[in-house]
Structure 1
């Protein structure tokens, strides 16, 4: 796999993982309401769920590539369209005030990931947009999904560890930050389609 493809894979993964999503917002709200110690079960649930969902994505993409190989070509364009939608959505989005969670349990964090459409699309798009052109081996797909889940875990940890700081900076400069992230995602769309 060429270096520029790996670089674009990481750019896409970092942007997708660090932008606000259900897991990051829930983690941010939980740490501000309960602190690290009381929130840890929920955080561990979010992290665990992330890895399980990404393994499901790897098996899904492997199954499609094995049994319906022509679908991957179409999925590449679907993935590019999703990244384009995400870029537009990020560029025009505004920060929302979220209600604090009343319970910080492992299962709440774990189950959130199974209904978190963002991470399904994230995992499938990253594989079909960057990896499957070079390999459809299950072990390679699982490896890249583990990388994605690890980046996601680091991103959620950053929202936890610096929650209040990130929130204050983001609230003050969200328009500029969102436009920079959106333009960077447009480059990722270009790299998938060329």
Structure 2
């Protein structure tokens, strides 16, 4: 296996802005680091679970992938638009909607996030299974990828924490920009 290509693929996909990373940044901005970490833990567990499911059900997924991708695109786009709308209408003087900053929402977001689903569907069969078929090797691959994803999420939490004062000073503009990025992610899901 080309470990450099594998690591580059994992780092680029997990660290670049996407729906989960944008929601993490927004959560730090609106709710604080503790709530962002709660969301991040849910997102990480779901990310790892998706990798496990991909590894276990790879052959079945290949057969039904067109149906899964279409369904995930529809659900994922609507969910991203919903989150974008929630960010846009967030009132800085009132408490924001709680469900966007919970372990459960972080967990569920991963199953509706096309970027994560497509990544987990492609990384295992592209890099792990062609080279390793033994359960310990596949398990180690899933663990390594999950850790990379967790590090990406934590990076966004740290970024939000470091720049929290700036972000809070410009709360409405930041919310609008993040809403635009999420809506753009939803639109790009169809491109």
TM-score by length of 1: 0.61
Q: Does 1:47 align with 2:56?
A: no
- Please name the residue that 1:146 is paired with: 143
Partners of 2:133 and 2:40 lie apart in 1 by 32
After TM superposition, the structure 1 stretch with the greater mean CA deviation from structure 2, 131-140 or 105-114, is 131-140
Q: Distance in 1 between matches of 2:163 and 2:144?
A: 24
**1:102 matched to 2:101:** no
Task: Name the structure 1 match of 2:4.
Answer: 7
Q: Are residue 157 (structure 1) and residue 154 (structure 2) matched?
A: yes
Tell me the C-alpha RMSD between the 2 structures: 3.2
Q: CA deviation at 1:138?
A: 3.2
Give the distance between the partners of 1:113 and 1:46, measured in 2 at CA: 6
Change over 3 Å in CA distance of 1:142–1:148 after alignment to 2: same
Cα deviation, residue 38, structure 1: 3.5
8 Å contact kept, 2:25–2:156: yes
Matched, 1:57 2:44: no
Task: Please state whether the residue corresponding to 1:13 is helix, strand or coil.
Answer: helix
Provide structure 1 residue ranges, at least 5 long, that are not aligned to the other structure. 79-95, 172-194
Q: State the Cα deviation string for residues 124-158 of structure 1 (Å, max 9, x = none).
A: 21222222221223332222122111101100100
Name the CA distance, whole Å, in 2 between partners of 1:112 and 1:23. Answer: 7
Paired residues of 2:33 and 2:161 also in contact (CA < 8 A)? no
Cα separation, 2, equivalents of 1:48 and 1:133: 25
Query: Match of 1:46, SS?
Result: helix
Gaps of 5+ in 2: 67-83, 91-95, 167-173, 175-191
SS at match of 2:55: helix
> What is the CA–CA distance in structure 1 between the aligned matches of 2:7 and 2:86, rounded to whole Å?
29
Post-superposition offset of 1:97: 10
Match of 1:134 among 131, 135, 139: 131
- Report the count of equivalent residues: 139
